[in-house]
Structure 1
Amino acid sequence: MPVIRSCLHCGQKNRIPASHLADSGRCGACKIELPPIGEPLAADAALFEDVLQNARVPVLVDFWADWCGPCRMAAPEVARTAADLSGQAIVLKVDSDKYPQLAARYNVRGIPNFIVLKNGKLVHQQAGLVGHDQMEAWLRSAASATIA
């Protein structure tokens, strides 16, 4: 399930496969460079699975819900993490009310809840509000971890 990204230069919609979300590419129409994903992606179950199976960089997942105050406070930190580590990590946001099966899979009992995955395997999990510096540290640690 590719992610659709619009070119900032010409507006062309480009299909980016999960395996290339952290890569630079080129617009299919105007050939201007498309930078790696630098913002959190709202993930449904299909996109979550696609990224989990195909990402070549660590993945931070923010389990959240609309009604959750701490989740809203975490949102700018999550966005900054995605921007700071563009090309080095992928950041997903999973609405735990819409996709309870994904939350249950990782035993999410309280939100916000953050997980870090590498090669589809859980590397780190923590509930509660944290800053972008902590999220970035988890992702950098995961990037250097050896996971089969």
Structure 2
Amino acid sequence: MTDPLHYVCPHCHTTNRVARAQLGNAPDCGSCHQPLVTGKPVALDAASFAKHVGRSQVPVVVDFWAPWCGPCRSMAPAFEQAAAALAPEVQLAKLDTEAHPQAAAPYGIRSIPTMVVFRGGQEIGRISGAMGAGDIQRWVQSVI
């Protein structure tokens, strides 16, 4: 028997309890009935950032970025590819540091893009600089 884990919905940001074995079977959110596992990065704001990082029991990789940042924009397709490859075991998310500086400030983000891996609300890994999809996947798997 598998104990349920908390998985935060990428659409309505409600915390759901799902058996780990069921993550690969396209579970839906109990609140909004949208798919819980999308294989796409979740766009976060300050409130949803706190929910995903603090409540999710799967690792959450947050790309701290800004729209004016060329390397951030060039890495976006690779980050999307990595999100598809790492789902459902890892949720990838993006936080616009210009639009939501109060969410990024406690983490001392000095350069962007910076990716931070969170597990159980705690930072467990960090890397700065644009990366390709394969490099992102390898780095995340080495951290988790």
Shorter-chain TM-score category?
0.7 to 0.9
What does residue 146 of structure 1 align with? none
The answer on whether the counterparts of 1:57 and 1:88 sit within 8 Å (CA) in structure 2 is yes
Q: What fraction of aligned residue pairs are identical, expressed as a percent? A: 34
**Counterpart Cα distance in 1 of 2:39 and 2:9:** 16
**Counterpart Cα distance in 2 of 1:27 and 1:63:** 26
Where in structure 2 are the equivalents of 1:49-60 lying within 5 Å?
49-60=50-61
Deviations along 1:90-112, one digit per CA (max 9) or x if unpaired, are: 11100010111222211111111
Question: Which has the larger displacement, 90-99 or 50-59?
Answer: 50-59
Task: Tell me the SS of whatever aligns to 1:102.
Answer: helix
**Counterpart Cα distance in 2 of 1:71 and 1:27:** 30
**Counterpart Cα distance in 2 of 1:106 and 1:35:** 27
What does residue 127 of structure 2 align with? 126
Q: Which letter does structure 2 place at the counterpart of 1:59?
A: V
**Counterpart Cα distance in 2 of 1:70 and 1:20:** 36
Measure how far apart 1:123 and its partner are.
Answer: 1.1
Deviations along 1:60-82, one digit per CA (max 9) or x if unpaired, are: 10011111110010100110111
Candidates 14, 19, 29, aligned match of 1:17: 14
**Counterpart Cα distance in 1 of 2:113 and 2:140:** 17
The answer on whether the counterparts of 1:59 and 1:117 sit within 8 Å (CA) in structure 2 is yes
What does residue 98 of structure 2 align with? 97
Gaps of 5+ in 2: 1-7
What does residue 135 of structure 1 align with? 136
Report the TM-score when normalising by structure 1. 0.75
**Counterpart Cα distance in 1 of 2:112 and 2:74:** 12
Gaps of 5+ in 1: 5-14, 144-148
What does residue 82 of structure 2 align with? 81
What does residue 61 of structure 1 align with? 62
Task: Tell me the SS of whatever aligns to 1:66.
Answer: coil
The answer on whether the counterparts of 1:57 and 1:90 sit within 8 Å (CA) in structure 2 is yes
**Counterpart Cα distance in 1 of 2:75 and 2:118:** 19
